[in-house]
Amino acid sequence: MVVAKARDLVKQDGLDALTTRRLGEWLGVKGPALYRHFANKQEIIDALGRTFFVGPAEPSADDTWQDWLEQRAHSTRREILSCRDGARIVAMARPNLAGGGHLDRLLEPLTKAGFDATEALLASHIIGRLVIGWTLSEQEHGGQIPPASANIDPEAGFAFAVKCVIAGLEMRLIAKKMSAPRT
């Protein structure tokens, strides 16, 4: 409930308006009461950041790793853009995916495809950084992609960028398989 209210506050007034005192007012409690749940504002931002990652954690039986990664990128972009300053929140958040094997499950589609654990993590980071950078640019420039004079459709441009990154990852995987010793 605290995180949902924090997100509502940011949607209405922006990230700069998010303080423990202000959030406490929205919740009808004194700001210090929030310290039972969050040690500081950064922990609230971390929790807010996790709310933007929606979509399938694993591909369906019909999905390729490429389709799954593309779907995750698009669903995350849409979710970030649905919240004022969403990209700033995600950029500032410190993800904590280490507990309970969550990171392994998240990267499993990539490791099943042939990436080792480090490569899978880096591939995930590349897509994640593309999403963050793209949405930061969109939110900072009123939904336009610089230069505005180019009149680039943000959705089409983002789709192109994601496909290019995935194509690069595919080439990396093909090269890795081709250079593997034959048994």
Give the pLDDT score at 144: 87
Burial of 71 (0-12, 13-18, 19+ CB in 10 A): middle
The answer on 101 and 45 residing in a single domain is: no
Give the pLDDT score at 105: 77
Q: What is the CATH number of the domain that holds 31?
A: 1.10.10.60
Segment 127-168, tens digit of pLDDT: 999 999 999 999 999 888 888 778 889 999 999 999 999 999
The answer on 117 and 87 residing in a single domain is: yes
Q: What is the DSSP letter of 182?
A: P
Q: For residue 18, which amino acid is it? A: L
- Please state the φ and ψ torsions of residue 144, each to the nearest 5 degrees: -100, 155
Give the pLDDT score at 104: 77
Euclidean distance between CA atoms 90 and 88, whole angstroms: 6
Number of domains in the chain: 2
Q: What domain range includes position 24?
A: 2-49
Q: What is the DSSP string of 138-161?
A: HHHTTTPPSSGGG---HHHHHHHH
Of 19-23, 34-38, 115-119, 124-128, least confident by mean pLDDT is 34-38
Contact by Cβ (8 Å): 137, 144: no
The answer on 61 and 29 residing in a single domain is: no
Q: What is the mean pLDDT of the chain?
A: 88
**Average pLDDT for residues 15-25, to the nearest whole number?**
90
Six-digit token string for 67: 């389709």
